[in-house]
Amino acid sequence: MSSTILIVEDELLIALTYRMDLEKRGYTVIGVCSTGQEAVQSVEQQQPDVVLMDIHLKGQMDGIEAAELIMQSETAPALIFITGNYEAPTKERANSLEPLGFFVKPVTMQEIDHLIRS
C-alpha cells in the first residue's frame, strides 16, 4: 500500500509540480494546504503518513509552529521540512521536532522519494 502524503506549500504552482511528480511515483497526495491552520486540520482529519512542510507559509502560523501542533498527536506523521530560507536558527527550531528530513529549495521529488523509501 502506497504512503499518503500531505503537501503544505503556499506557492501553488510549486505545490502542483510536487503533487504531479509524487503521484507519478505512486504516492497518494491527499491534499495541498497553503496555511498552517489548514495543515493542522487536514492532518487531524486525514492522518497522512508523511507531511511535506514548507516553513514559509501564508497566515499567522509558520510551518514549524504548525508542525509542533501536528506532532502533539499520538499518530503523528513523518515530517519533511522544505524551505527556501536556510538559516541556522530556523533549522534548529525545525530539528527540535526530529523531522524525517530537512531540504533547502530547489528540491527534487526524487530526493523525497528516496528518503521516504529509505
Partner 1 sequence: MTNLHNNRFVTLPFIPLLLILTFGVVSGVSGENADSNPKRILMLSSYHPAFPTYRQQVDGVRDTFAGRDVLLDVEFMDSKRFIEEEFRLQFLDMLSTKLSQLPPYDGVITANDNALSFALAHQKELFPSIPITFFGINNRKLALAQNRNPQVTGVVEAVSMEATLQMAMELFPQTSTIYAIVDRTPTGQEDLATFYSYSSRFPLDELSLERLSFDELEARLRGLNENSVVLLISAYHDRTGDRLTFEESLSRITANSSVPIFHLYHHGMGKGIFGGKLISHYQQALTAAAIMEEILFSETTVDEFSVVEESPNIYMADYVQMEKYGIREQDLPEGTQVMNRPESFYRENWVQIWSLMVVIFLEGALILLLIFNIQRKKSMARRLMASEQRFRDLFEYAPVALLEEDYSEVKRYLDFQLIPGGQSLESFLQENPREVEKCAGMVRILDANQQALSLFKVPSKAPLLTGLSRRFSEKTLEVFTQELLSFYRGETKFSAPSQMKTHLQDPIWTNLHLVVAPHNEKEWDRVYEGIENITRTVHFQNQLENTIREKDILLGEIHHRVNNNLALISSFLHLQTMVSNNDALNRFLQDSMTRIKAMSLVHEKLFRNSTIENIDLSEYIHDLVHEIIQAYSSSSTEVECVISCEKLTLSINFMIPLGLVVNEIVSNSIKHAFEAVAQPRIKVRIEKINSTHLELHINDNGIGIQPAAPQSPQQKSSIGLLIIDTLIDQLEGSKQVVTDHGTHYTIILPTEEGSNEQHNTYSRR
Sites of contact with partner 1 (CB under 8 A): 10-13, 16, 19-20, 23, 34-36, 55-62, 65, 85
Q: In the bound complex, what is the minimum distance in angstroms from residue 35's beta carbon to partner 1?
A: 7
Torsion sign across C-alpha atoms 90, 92, 98, 99: positive
Q: How far is the CB of 13 from partner 1 (least distance, A)?
A: 5
Contacts of 49 by beta carbon, 8 Å cutoff, 6+ apart? 3, 4, 5, 77, 78
Q: Residue 40 and residue 20: Cα distance in Å, rounded?
A: 23
Measured from the CB atom, is 68 or 115 closer to partner 1?
A: 68
Q: Residue 20: how many CB atoms within 10 A of its CB?
A: 12
Compare residues 23 and 49 and give the one whose CB is closer to partner 1: 23
**For partner 1, which is the closer residue by CB, 37 or 47?**
37
Q: How far is the CB of 6 from partner 1 (least distance, A)?
A: 17
Nearer to partner 1, 38 or 43 (CB): 38
- Residue 82 C-beta: closest distance to partner 1, Å: 15
Write down the residue that cell numbers 503556499 correspond to.
Answer: 10
Tell the burial category of 51 from Cβ atoms under 10 Å away from its Cβ (0-12, 13-18, 19+). Answer: buried
